[in-house]
Amino acid sequence: MAQRKQLTWTELRVGLFVLAGIVLLVIGIFYVTGTGALGPKYRLVTFLPEVDGLAIGAPVTINGVEVGNVDSIAIAPSRPGQAPAPDRSVEVVMRINRDFQGYIRTDSYAELFTVGFLGNRVVTVQRGYTGQVLPDGAEVKGIEERAMKEVVARGADLMQNLSALSSQVGDMVARVQHGQGTIGKLLTDETAYNRINNILGRVDQITASVQQGRGTIGKLVTSDELYTKFDSAAGRLDNVMSAVQQQKGSLGKFIYDPSLHESARQFLSNGNALLSDVHAGRGTLGKLATDDSLFATWRQTGQNLSNATANLNSKDSTAGKFFDDPQFYDNMTGVAGDLRLLLNEFRQNPAKFLKVKFSLF
């Protein structure tokens, strides 16, 4: 009679450990496959122009929120009666958590998104708002990755700019090699080389003369006389500053003597008082500055002078005729002539004019 084989505790413990490991492995697989891996799923299909870097099991997101995984990737089959389209080269089947089915509609679209500049690629679906909810197995419109398209476009522009720059640099180098332009002449013309060499030789001679103390610059560099003069001037200036600090001399007293400050303050105070009196109309200066009667008097005097001058310029008045009448001038000239003749006769024979007659009553 066969004996019954009994299961030892060691064997049972090993089996429990294996079973627990399998359970943990299954849970880990479900966890890696995406959010809600244990919930109900449905599938959607999209067609993309390329899927380089996209792997099966890669996340599928809606506006950045992970909602599923890529279930399969295959070359898109040809559609009956239609030519192959470059934007429908690859068929991507997505396994989506059914809890998010209401967010993917006919106005949604799918595209690839690169995580980081060189990271993995995921499928991102733009949330729909106005269209109808897509059922299981429906197609989501696929578009080319915008970021990659911009990178390619910018890369093409960069290559074009680099090509143009390379062409320009090549032209410049060719012109330089042919001796064209300033740089080309400097590199190929021996005359310019000789001139530069002569200039360098003269600079070397000047440097040697300076080092030997010849010339003005050489004396400034090598002679101690200028340093001695500067040192002496600095010492004198230090003595002057010391004397000023010790309140010696006019400058020291001017800076440190408080009586000067008091005098200046008193002068400013008297000046302010004088200005106050002037503003108040006190004193001669105040009346001159504020009294309108003096201004009116001077104005009237000026008007009278203007009138007198106008009368002198006029020929109708006596004074005007005195200055402008030629007949008056002729008469005055005649009188002056007669008076001169009379004076001459008086000098020659004064007895003729000086007769003394005495009479007695």
| pLDDT tens by residue, 334-355 | 777 878 887 787 777 776 666 6
Cβ proximity of 321 and 315 under 8 Å: yes
Please say which residue of 306, 329, 346 terminates a domain.
306
Greatest CA separation for the chain: 227
- Same domain? For 146 and 213 the reply is no
C-alpha to C-alpha distance for 95 and 30, rounded to whole angstroms: 13
Q: Which of 9 and 129 is assigned the larger pLDDT? A: 129
Domain span at residue 195?
Answer: 179-223
- Same domain? For 218 and 302 the reply is no
The reply to whether 332 falls in a domain is no
C-alpha to C-alpha distance for 260 and 272, rounded to whole angstroms: 18
Q: How confident is the model at residue 154 (pLDDT cuts 50, 70, 90)?
A: low
- Same domain? For 118 and 60 the reply is yes
C-alpha to C-alpha distance for 8 and 6, rounded to whole angstroms: 6
- Same domain? For 217 and 275 the reply is no
| pLDDT given at position 1 | 45
Please tell me the least confidently modeled range out of 27-31, 305-309, 332-336, 354-358: 354-358
| pLDDT given at position 123 | 92
| pLDDT given at position 98 | 92
The reply to whether 344 falls in a domain is no
- Same domain? For 56 and 139 the reply is yes
The reply to whether 141 falls in a domain is yes
The reply to whether 53 falls in a domain is yes
- Same domain? For 131 and 189 the reply is no
Spell out the residues 6+ positions from residue 317 whose beta carbon is closer than 8 angstroms to its own.
Answer: 311
Task: Please say if the pLDDT value at position 224 is more than 90.
Answer: no
The reply to whether 106 falls in a domain is yes
C-alpha to C-alpha distance for 145 and 124, rounded to whole angstroms: 10
The reply to whether 26 falls in a domain is no
Most confident of 9-23, 63-77, 177-191: 63-77
The reply to whether 197 falls in a domain is yes
Looking at residues 32-41, what average pLDDT do you find? 60
- Same domain? For 199 and 290 the reply is no
The reply to whether 25 falls in a domain is no
| pLDDT tens by residue, 119-143 | 688 999 999 999 999 999 999 999 8
| pLDDT given at position 80 | 79
- Same domain? For 74 and 147 the reply is yes
Please say which residue of 286, 306, 326 terminates a domain.
306
- Same domain? For 268 and 184 the reply is no
| pLDDT given at position 159 | 75
- Same domain? For 93 and 187 the reply is no
Counting residues of the chain whose pLDDT is more than 90, the rounded percentage is: 18
